[in-house]
Amino acid sequence: MRKKVVITLAILLFIVFTGCTNTEKNNIKPNESNVTTDSKENDEYKETTESKEVNDSKEIKVADVQILSLDSGEFNLTEIFNNNDLEKLSLQELSLLRNSIYAKNGYKFSTEEFHNYFSKFEWYKPISKDVDKLLSQIDNENIKNIILIEEQSESWIKNSKDDKELSREMDVMVPLFGPAEKETLYITREKLDYEGGNLPTKITLNTGHNKKVFESTWNDGIYVSVVDFNENDDEIDIYITETGTDIGCTTHIYKISHGSIYPYTRFEHFGKDFLYDGKGNIYYWFNTTGKSIINTCFNYKTRESSNIWDQSIQTRLNKLFKDTEAYKENTNETNSTEKDDKRIKVAELNYYEDLDLDGNKEEINIVFKADDVDSSYRASAFIISIKKNGKKALHHEFNCYIWDYELKFISCKDKMYFYVQDEGPSDDPNATIFELCEDGINVVLRVGGYIIDYDYDGNIYTSYSYTNDKNKVLLTYYNIKDGLKHPSNDEIIGKILQYNCNMVLYKKKNIAGGHRVSSISEEHAETLKREIAASNIDTGIVKIADINESVKIVEVDYDFYERFPNMVRNIPIKVETKDGLSGWLFWLNGGD
């Protein structure tokens, strides 16, 4: 949610026209490289636009009193800002305050978010991209001070990558620091007794005076660290990051104060790592564009998040995110002086295989490269080169996220194919299949899941091909020539599913967007049954099937994900029980 910023504009009864002339005459401008240029090459502080001349014939009237209200305080845009007040602001607030000075002087923003934001106010009259001559001495002084604080703020920012993770050992004793330095925190990690979940985990936090228990039934890892998000208060913070089975994560913040522990707030983000500045501001990646860039600020004092519009701040934050010892250690990063060396080579392998079945083996060279954004993955790209009869057939780079440096082969009746297994940025594995053609290397197919089997006719089976029950019913597979395939209705309708846990049958297949998990533990099943019996509200549940109860498939909805026609995981299946009840099951194949 974007921060609500209220600007109160008080227009005095008159404005002395000559005041604009005097202001321009006595104007003290900051360093040009910091504030006045508007190009990508020279200015990383001001919103990136192209320059245009001001029409000097226009009279620009600016109110003598303008107040910008931010979550961290109010600022009179006609007075010199107090540096102590500026130091309390997040980088996002500093950017908004800096750009408001240009906005009140008629700056024409090209960044859509800034333009839309300031266009809400009657006083904003965009006239040009070059308003430097209109800036007053106070404006320039404030801009200079904001930029200095922005630069200082970057030095205060810390990276969660560098925080010591305390949750891998079963029992950890942590002497606390700061205002709680005489206290000790005990952290206990144990497996949660919960069937049907993914890595069910129980974390216990104990100061001796107080104890809190955190439970997660569905995650791909839990990370616990002790930090101080806000160095201005007398409390120490614990953050528990619960990684999702896709790239989405949730960080839960607990506070320790005088021996007491209490849950404070939480925020959702992509990727398990983030930045924080000790002032209560947390910077992280949260978007759906697929670009892993720091673009969101969460103020944990106000419990509100805002998008970071300023691309220069995004760039600098992402540099800070990568420019850490943890990142360098994981990627073997060196102080290379080559400007185009954006990624570091991490592995190189050579193979010899007869790819076109002509009796001669081709020389295959593959180079894997380290990820330049997220060090959680060992490689994010690979370059394949193939030589046939001593001549290079192709040299091409492919982007993906890789754990294992290995090329694998599929031998079919017409030729030899090869593929690289991709972990995916959200832990959704894929494999890219290639073939050698007359004009080089061709991408044949991209399949979802881990390739677990194939046949001579080119049919490929993955970890998402079968239901994850005892009977392993085939739902999807691939053919190298024809792509994604499904069994016919005659081959799948009537098949029996049998799970070693309780299964929830739902009336509708659009419950929670199809992401409701049907498999639950026995304890959860009993609790849910009691809640259903005591409630007069329609829960949307048909039945909770018993452990190992047999149910019959009556329908499979391959078209459920309209936006993703090639979706092969978590396919909704309608089943019928022996007592004649029918309902939908979710997350049955490849369901994390």
Q: Classify strands 73-76 and 550-556 as parallel, antiparallel or unpaired.
A: unpaired
Token digits of residue 443: 């991408």
Question: Which H or E element spans position 118?
Answer: helix 112-118
pTM > 0.85: no
- Amino acid residing at 7: I
The pLDDT, as a whole number, for residue 578 is 93
Let me know if 584 is exposed, middle or buried by CB neighbors in 10 A (0-12, 13-18, 19+).
buried
Instruction: Map tokens 């050579």 to a residue.
Output: 350
The pLDDT, as a whole number, for residue 136 is 92
Percent of residues in the chain assigned helix, strand, coil, to nearest 5? 20, 35, 45
Distance CA 304, CA 308 (A): 13
End-to-end CA distance of the chain: 29
Would you write out the chain's pLDDT as a tens digit for each of its 592 residues? 333 333 333 332 233 333 333 333 233 333 333 333 333 333 333 443 332 333 332 333 344 447 777 777 888 888 999 998 998 888 888 988 999 899 889 999 888 888 888 888 777 889 998 899 999 999 999 999 999 988 888 888 888 888 887 866 567 888 888 777 888 889 988 887 776 667 788 899 998 888 999 988 887 788 899 998 888 788 899 999 988 755 678 899 999 988 889 999 888 888 888 999 888 899 998 764 445 678 889 988 888 888 888 888 888 888 787 654 333 333 333 333 333 333 344 567 787 888 877 788 888 887 777 655 555 555 667 778 888 776 665 666 766 666 556 678 888 877 888 888 877 655 578 888 888 877 677 888 988 888 888 888 899 998 889 988 888 899 999 999 999 999 988 899 999 999 988 999 998 876 443 346 788 888 788 888 887 887 777 778 899 999 999 999 999 988 876 656 677 878 889 999 999 999 998 877 764 4
**Quick check: 132 and 28 in contact, CB under 8 A?**
no
Token digits of residue 46: 């001001």
Q: Is the dihedral of CA 86, 92, 93, 99 positive or negative?
A: positive
The pLDDT, as a whole number, for residue 496 is 94
The pLDDT, as a whole number, for residue 400 is 67
Phi and psi of 16, rounded to 5°? -75, 120
Token digits of residue 52: 């245009």
Q: What is the largest CA-CA distance in the chain?
A: 93
The pLDDT, as a whole number, for residue 497 is 94
Helices (H), 443-580: 489-492, 522-534
